[in-house]
């Protein structure tokens, strides 16, 4: 699942990410693009608490966060 969360400030990205991670819990990986540093940290923290590995990849227009399920 991919979701673009650029242009949104906290807590909206966290709430949208939580909803996606909860509603699509059968998926093995998720990808979110954000452009707010605080939102990146908060969404990453949420994903780790929910049992995901987090990878961050900096882009010109934001940060792509990739979450995969821990095995």
Q: Domain spans of the chain?
A: 2-69
Residue 10 is among the residues annotated as catalytic for this protein: yes
HEC readout, the chain: CEEECCCCCCCHHHHHHHHHHHHCCCCCEEEEEECCHHHHHHHHHHHHHCCEEEEEEEECCEEEEEEEECC
Catalytic entry in 10, 50, 54, 66: 10
Q: Which residues pair with 62 in a beta bridge?
A: 59
- Name the average pLDDT for the chain: 94
Share of the chain above pLDDT 90, in %: 83
2-69 CATH, one of 3.20.20.70, 1.10.287.70, 3.30.110.40, 3.40.50.2000: 3.30.110.40
Give the span between the Cα atoms of 62 and 6, in whole angstroms: 7
Full-model pTM: 0.90
């Amino acid at each position: 699942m991919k979701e673009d969360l650029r242009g949104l400030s906290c807590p909206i990205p966290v709430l949208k990410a939580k909803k996606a991670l909860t509603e699509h819990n059968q998926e093995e990986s998720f990808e979110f693009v954000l452009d707010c540093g605080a939102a990146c940290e908060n969404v990453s923290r949420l994903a780790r608490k929910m049992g995901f590995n987090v990878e961050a990849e900096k882009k010109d227009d934001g940060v792509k966060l990739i979450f995969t399920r821990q095995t």
